[in-house]
Each structure stands twice: as C-alpha cells, then as structure tokens.
C-alpha cells in the first residue's frame, strides 16, 4: 500500500480542551492520542492564523516569510497596512515540495492560499478569499479553487459550503452557533468526498470554525473569564462543537487505511481575554505620540490625526500589539534620529513591560524585537511586537478612551485571545503508546516530508517529530 499523510487542522484548538476538559467527548481523538504521540505545539511569534499556518506549511518563521500578521506595512509611509494573499509566499509550501516528487495533494481551507495557484492536486482556498456574501459561493467566479472546475463538485456535493462565517463578531450567538455547525458539517462533507474520490498522497485541511467558536463562546465555558456567565444557554456550546469535530474526525479516519499517517494540529491555542490595553493612549500618556486635537469620542486611529513632527511612535491593535517608530530618513516626518533608534526602542520595551492593571499589579507584558527572534526580517517588520499581559490582554488601537484600559473590544464582541501553545497528535501506527511531548509548529512540515522519505531542505527550521 502506498504511504499517505492526512493532516487535519483545527484552527485555535486548545490543548487543555482536547487533552483534558473535553477528552471524554472525543473518543476518536483519544484513541489517536493513546496510540501515537501528542502534546503542545508551540506557535509562531505572534500566534496568529496569518502567518502561523503558512509558517507550519513552509517551516519558515514570520520574518523569513516577511508576513508579521494580518496587516503588514507596504512601505515606510504612515498608511499602508495591507492584507497579504498567496502571492506574498515566496518560499515553497509543503504541497509544492511534494509536487516536485510526483506526490499529489488535497489542500482544503488552509489560510493564505487565495488566489489558488496551479499545482499537482486540488485546492479550496480559505478565509481572506474575497467573497460576496450576497451571492452563491459556488457560482462565484474567483480563483478560490484549483482546478477551477472543482467549484462544480462543491456545488453538487456540499451546496452549503462556506469559506467562513460572514459576520462572526456578533451578539446573535444562537444564530452564530447554528452557522458554525452548518459550516463545519459542509466542510467535512466535502473533505470526505475529496478523501474518497481523489487520488492523493498528502491531504491537508483546516477548519476555521473552532477559532470563531472560541472568540464567541469562551466566556460561557471558562469560569475564570471576567465575563463568565453561569447557567447560560451556551454553557455546552464549546463542548458540543468539539464533539462534532471528533465525530467528523471519526468519519475521516474510516476513509483512510493503516498505512496513512494521521496528524491533528492547531496553529495556536486560546486563552481568556481580561481586557484591552489602548496602545495609542498609552503612547500618548508617555509622551511618544501627539494627536492634533483631542478626540471627542472613541475613534479609530488614523494617520491624519497625528502631529507627526511631535510623534516618536504609534501602535496597532489586534490580539498582540505592534509599535512603529517614526525615524528620521525612514518615515516621511521622522523625528527619532537613527543613532537614537535602539535607545528609544529599549526605553519603550522597559516601560511597556512595566504596565500594570488598574489595581497596580504588573500584568506581565512581553516585548519582542523582530531582529532578535527571526532568522531574517523581510519586507517591513514592526519595530516592536508586544504581548500585553502575556496575551490575557489584547491591543486596542482606537483613541478617545481617556484611559489606557478598556473592557469592550473596538472591533466587536470577542471573548478570547490567542495563546502561544496549540496542540498536535501524530498517529503513524507505530504503537508509541501515548508519548507526551512539546513540539514546535516548525516541526510539522519536516515530519510530513520524512514520512514520505523525502530529504528535508536545509532552510526548514524544524525537525521531524
């Protein structure tokens, strides 16, 4: 029988849920754990979907890919943050490397694959695919499948197929719960069709529903969440969803033979969100950022508000913070002299690490310099990457709060942040009897190549598990 590898990605799946809290609801998953090796999977810095999945699929870090998050600077002007697409990936992905060895792949829902490119296999792209929710997806003429005719098969097999849930930051949670299950069922229905009907060597899929689930329902499960609601109608939503993931896994396992290596992975974990640090308010308070006028209300931060001749640094919101310095000769109105760059950066780092909560307790903020954590820094990295409160706090970019703290999210309801530790399970039928290990997201691509007996390129950072 020929060697095959099947990877099922559960975006954001948290090890403490899969391996502990919900394990009794996940018998198929437990069986894989007991027969194989499993544990925490350390994510990228930052632990964010883009670039994490692509770092996993290339075994290169965000700096090498030149993708530091969802939005990246295009040049050193003040307003050029754009969302990347698959054209930004300049190094070979796992399915491209396998294609060079005459291996055929199925790639379903892996983030940052739109627009789909020609390769030996079948691809359906992921969220960040520009779809019009008012128009049937299966009739949308975009490069969201390869080959393009694969759309017709989706229309026949899984008419309800959704790339993502259009409005997942919503207070209408009952409706969201139904949509999540509908999306996940349709994706796995089509996944099983691909498993059975296509002649593949490598199968890779990512389900985004688990990420949307955590962000909307974490407070109903986690008793330590500041907004925990006991006796809510959503108390069991998270558990039920994981049970669904496990049922779908069981059906996928029944489609593959004993020679198939099965890998379950997530790109990062999840943790409760205690609140937000208003990064630009913090920078204003500490004299790094000056606005032309005082905002009357909570306002989205835009470069035209800023008195750039009086500004040394500004920040971006998100699950982690990014800080950019306004440097002479680099930014259009730079004021930080090149020789002072490291002094200002170090001063910022020290002050950020001293941030306390409203009661004066240090919240354990961690600050990274891209040049110290990546092998290379391609394109334009942020000057500092910030995990506010060890990621129990998010970064809020908007201004006009009159405080550096906020407990409402400026981009819609959101209950959880991303955690650095995702999870993995590998079952190669080698009777490893439930070995427990912590591994790195960079180890997945080398592991898959080794399963096929293919040489691991020197440029890959990880080692086979």
Residues that bind Zn ion (CB under 5 A): 11-12, 49, 211, 267
Closest distance of CB 60 from Zn ion, Å = 17
- Rank residues 267 and 415 by Cβ distance to Zn ion and give the closer one: 267
Q: In what order do the strands lie in the sheet with 393-396?
A: 393-396, 275-278, 405-406
| Burial readout 315-338 (b: 16 or more C-beta within 10 A, e: otherwise) | bbbbbbbbbbbbbeeebeebebee
Nearest of 437, 447, 94 to residue 462 by alpha carbon: 447
- Rank residues 70 and 301 by Cβ distance to Zn ion and give the closer one: 70
CA 194 to chain centre: 25
* Residue 58 and residue 443 in contact, taking contact as beta carbons nearer than 8 Å: no
- Rank residues 57 and 344 by Cβ distance to Zn ion and give the closer one: 57
The dihedrals phi and psi of 39, each to the nearest 5 degrees, come to 165, -165
Nearest of 239, 260, 247 to residue 28 by alpha carbon: 247
Cis link prior to 147 (omega < 30° from 0)?
yes
What SS3 class is residue 315?
strand
Phi-psi region of 412 (alpha: psi -120 to 50; beta: other; left: phi over 0): left
Closest distance of CB 402 from Zn ion, Å = 33
Nearest of 42, 70, 12 to residue 418 by alpha carbon: 12
DSSP E strands, 286-344: 313-316, 321-325
Q: How far apart are the first and last CA of the chain?
A: 23
- Rank residues 49 and 145 by Cβ distance to Zn ion and give the closer one: 49
- Rank residues 111 and 462 by Cβ distance to Zn ion and give the closer one: 111
User: What's the CA gap between 173 and 168, in Å, rounded?
Assistant: 9
Closest distance of CB 209 from Zn ion, Å = 11
Nearest residue relative to Zn ion (C-beta): 49
Closest distance of CB 291 from Zn ion, Å = 33
- Rank residues 17 and 327 by Cβ distance to Zn ion and give the closer one: 17
Closest distance of CB 206 from Zn ion, Å = 8
- Rank residues 61 and 211 by Cβ distance to Zn ion and give the closer one: 211
Strand partners, 37: 426, 435
- Rank residues 270 and 426 by Cβ distance to Zn ion and give the closer one: 270
Nearest of 71, 3, 14 to residue 266 by alpha carbon: 14
The string of DSSP letters for 138-203 reads GG--SS-EESTTHHHHHHHH-TT--SS-TT-S-S-HHHHHHHHHHHHHHHHHHHHHHHHHS--SEE
Closest distance of CB 67 from Zn ion, Å = 14
- Rank residues 389 and 422 by Cβ distance to Zn ion and give the closer one: 422
């Amino acid at each position: 029988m020929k060697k095959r590898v099947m990877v099922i990605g559960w975006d954001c799946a948290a090890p403490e849920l899969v391996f502990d809290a919900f394990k009794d609801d996940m018998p198929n998953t437990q069986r894989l754990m007991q027969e194989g090796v499993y544990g925490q999977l350390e994510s990228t810095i930052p632990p964010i979907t883009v670039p994490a999945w692509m770092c996993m699929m290339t075994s290169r870090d965000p700096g090498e890919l030149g993708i530091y998050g969802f939005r990246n600077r295009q040049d050193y002007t003040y307003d050029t943050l754009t969302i990347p697409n698959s054209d930004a990936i300049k190094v070979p992905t796992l399915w491209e490397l396998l294609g060079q060895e005459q291996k055929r792949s199925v790639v379903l829902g892996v983030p940052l694959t739109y627009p789909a490119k020609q390769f030996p296999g079948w691809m359906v792209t992921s969220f960040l695919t520009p779809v019009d929710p008012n128009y049937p997806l299966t009739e949308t003429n975009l490069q969201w499948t390869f080959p393009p005719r694969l759309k017709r098969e989706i229309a026949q097999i899984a008419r309800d197929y959704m790339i993502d849930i259009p409005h997942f930051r919503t207070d209408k949670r009952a409706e969201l719960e139904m949509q999540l299950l509908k999306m996940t069922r349709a994706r796995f229905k089509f996944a099983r069709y691909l498993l059975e009907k296509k002649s593949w060597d490598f199968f890779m899929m990512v389900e985004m529903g688990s990420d949307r689930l955590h962000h909307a329902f974490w407070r109903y499960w986690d008793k330590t969440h500041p907004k925990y609601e006991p006796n809510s109608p959503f108390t069991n939503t998270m558990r039920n969803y994981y049970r669904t993931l496990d049922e779908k896994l069981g059906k996928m396992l029944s489609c593959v033979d004993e020679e198939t290596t099965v890998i379950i992975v997530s790109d990062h974990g999840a943790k409760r969100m205690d609140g937000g640090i208003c990064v630009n308010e913090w920078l204003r308070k500490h004299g790094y950022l000056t606005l032309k006028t005082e905002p009357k209300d909570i306002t989205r931060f835009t470069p035209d508000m800023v008195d750039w001749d009086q500004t040394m640094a500004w920040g971006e919101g998100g699950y982690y913070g990014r800080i950019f310095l306004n440097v002479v000769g680099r930014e259009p109105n730079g004021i930080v002299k090149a020789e002072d760059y490291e002094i200002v950066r170090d001063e910022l780092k020290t002050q950020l690490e001293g941030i306390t909560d409203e009661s004066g307790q240090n919240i354990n903020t961690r600050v990274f310099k891209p040049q110290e954590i990546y092998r290379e820094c391609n394109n334009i990295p942020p000057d500092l990457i910030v995990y506010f409160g060890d990621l129990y706090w998010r970064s809020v970019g908007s201004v006009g709060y009159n405080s550096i703290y906020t407990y409402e999210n400026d981009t819609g309801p959101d209950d959880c942040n991303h955690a650095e530790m995702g999870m993995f399970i590998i079952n190669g039928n080698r009777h490893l009897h439930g070995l427990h290990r912590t591994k790195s997201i960079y180890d997945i691509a080398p592991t898959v190549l080794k399963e096929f007996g293919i040489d691991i390129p020197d440029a890959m950072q990880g080692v086979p598990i």
